[in-house]
Structure 1
Amino acid sequence: MPDKTHAYGEDPSQFGELYLPTGAAKGVVVVIHGGFWKSAYDLSLGRPLAGSLAADGWVAWNLEYRRVGPAGSGGGGGAPATLDDIAAGIDKLAELDVDTSTVLALGHSAGGHLAAFAASRGRFDRWAARVPLTGVVSQAGVLDLRAAYDDGLGGGAVEAFLGHPPGPDDAPADPMQQVPLDVPVVCIHGTGDDIVPLSQSEQYVAHATAAGASAELVAVDGDHFTLIDAGSAAWTRTLAILNDLR
């Protein structure tokens, strides 16, 4: 369980759980859960990862945010409210007693989308970053909103998140349209993933590297949820990736 819980806004979903290591910390990892941005899923998905990160010497900031659905039950989100929350939640670290010289975002599925967004947010006045990221690890992230929409991922989740089909005006919310990022991005993805296809990470990395960004694809055995199984070989690989990004 977390050491402390901190609110970064007034909505019940605007909070994070802080996990602290024993001894000096390697840095901070912001854990951003997935679930196709839907209110049916919450930060409980990130708790096993946050606990493992703290045991491995990291400060883990397991972040909740407003999702798509009725307000008051985890909803009230979607673009831009969810993006506002991710920005504000990360910036809350500036008020906590943690060293923010190394801050990595770790996001699974839709959380991978939000982690990549968080690395570009400083480009926009609305989300000017007090606590910039130093790297991103996307776990089977939804990194190309247009392709995700065309493929019908999450049963129309992209259109529900944006409020309309994706288009050029949605560039600030679309990681594919924000390359090259100024920080390294590692995309870890299960080869057996039938929920978010491997092509999401493959195409993002190809596009990013062609634009001169530091981006890498790490394909591992397993399905969509292997990546958030803290007892899996994929998670052991993820810990090694995070350590390499320090």
Structure 2
Amino acid sequence: MREVLVVVGPGVAADAALLGEVAEREFAALGVRGAVRHVRDAADLPTVADGVSLVVIPGPQLRAPLGRPVVRVDVERADRVEPGPGVAHIHGRGIAGVAWGIRHAVHRTRHPARRVPYGPERDQWGELYLPGDVAGVPVVALVHGGYWRSIWAADLMDALCADLAGRGLAVWNLEYRRPDLHGWAATTADVAAGLEALAGLDAPLDLGRVAVAGHSAGAQLALRAVADGAPVALAVSLAGVLDLVEADRRWLSAGAVSAALGGPAAERDRRVGRRDQYGAASPLLRLPLGVRQLVVQGAADDLDLVDFGRRYARAAVQAGDEVTYLEMAGDHFDVITPGTPIWQATAEAVTAALT
């Protein structure tokens, strides 16, 4: 049983009892021993023994320890924080970020991965998980969602990495620059470059058996990369945002599409540049992809996403693509939660397609 210590710095604007409740729920769910400790200052930071995962909620007066494998959680948005080597940074997710931080701390201890940069920027990397010392392993590249906002990161896909590797598949969990800080062109370029980087990895991968799977906004990025020519055998949408024009018109996630692409879909009939951008980015407008596809959708998800998934799957078939549409009970996160029936069915379909 793994131990986790959550350290809370002075001045954190959160109810201490609530932080403890969130932490205790995660300890129980993950099957670990854990504790929450509040400290007065940096001098009060505890010495942590080997075998203990450390999560630090620093607050305004405490700098998280650098140069050691800790997870830093800022409940507020903290784009300018440089976490330092070996420090994972989760921020802007509110009190729920504490739960995500504990999950990530436990995950990276239980399932070590090799991080490989594909560019010089901080968010240009992927983490490679291998199922064992086996040659010619099929690969699943994962593209996380989060409505293209920088508070959401590759840790969203931690559980899928472990599940897929346990099924005998290699996993490439891709991080990329998000458009709220770096612009749409940077995001698109990073996903393409991250998928291309698979060919240069020093690993026993079978690049003829590659799937790319994206969740939510990540599905849009994944399918757009396939439309642009990424060489994959299977493209998977997990609760994907597949119709960007309607997603913007319906103000999905408080205008996330317009914010990401730099302008509303309503302008696409008046401005050639905007029309080209939506036309290039929306998977529905890029059909046919010419690649086998699996479109997965939880029936209890946002009804607009259910609508997008159904209409996209029909349009893709009509365009000549080979498409399997899988709709089952589940919400937006059930499709990336191992143990749920919808993920079990998805994983079995992906494994069957690649092996």
- Aligned equivalents of 1:201, 1:79: Cα separation in 2: 23
Once the two structures are aligned, what percentage of the paired residues are identical?
Answer: 39
Q: Secondary structure of the equivalent of 2:316?
A: helix
Q: Given the alignment, which residue of 233, 238, 243 partners 2:346? A: 238
Residue 190 of structure 1 contacts residue 223 of structure 1 at CA under 8 Å; is this kept in 2?
A: yes
Q: Which runs of 5+ in 2 are unaligned?
A: 1-110, 269-274
> Which residue is 2:3 aligned to?
none
Residue 118 of structure 2 contacts residue 124 of structure 2 at CA under 8 Å; is this kept in 1?
A: yes
Residue 103 of structure 1 contacts residue 133 of structure 1 at CA under 8 Å; is this kept in 2?
A: yes
Number of matched pairs: 232
What is the TM-score when the length of structure 2 is the normalising length?
Answer: 0.63
- Aligned equivalents of 1:211, 1:119: Cα separation in 2: 15
Q: Deviations over 1:25-60 (max 9, x none)?
A: 541000111100100100000111011111110000
Q: Given the alignment, which residue of 250, 253, 258 partners 1:154? A: 253
Residue 302 of structure 2 contacts residue 332 of structure 2 at CA under 8 Å; is this kept in 1?
A: yes
| Match runs of 1:1-246 below 5 Å | 1-24=111-134, 26-69=137-180, 75-76=181-182, 78-96=183-201, 97=203, 98-122=205-229, 129=230, 132-166=231-265, 167=268, 168-170=275-277, 171-194=279-302, 197-246=305-354
Residue 240 of structure 2 contacts residue 305 of structure 2 at CA under 8 Å; is this kept in 1?
A: no
Instruction: Give the alignment's Cα RMSD to 1 decimal.
Output: 1.4
Distance 1:2 1:17, change over 3 A: farther
Moved more, 206-215 or 165-174: 165-174
Q: Which fold has the larger relative contact order, with Cα–Cα distance below 8 Å and residues 6 or more apart in sequence?
A: 1
What is the TM-score when the length of structure 1 is the normalising length?
Answer: 0.90
> Which residue is 1:126 aligned to?
none
- Aligned equivalents of 2:193, 2:112: Cα separation in 1: 20
Q: Which has the larger radius of gyration?
A: 2
Tell me the amino acid that sits aligned with residue 107 of structure 1: G
- Aligned equivalents of 1:172, 1:134: Cα separation in 2: 21
Residue 23 of structure 1 contacts residue 57 of structure 1 at CA under 8 Å; is this kept in 2?
A: no
Shift of 1:241: 1.4
Shift of 1:107: 0.7
Q: Secondary structure of the equivalent of 1:104?
A: strand
Residue 117 of structure 1 contacts residue 174 of structure 1 at CA under 8 Å; is this kept in 2?
A: yes
Tell me the amino acid that sits aligned with residue 187 of structure 1: V
Residue 196 of structure 1 contacts residue 224 of structure 1 at CA under 8 Å; is this kept in 2?
A: no
Shift of 1:196: 5.1
Residue 154 of structure 1 contacts residue 195 of structure 1 at CA under 8 Å; is this kept in 2?
A: no
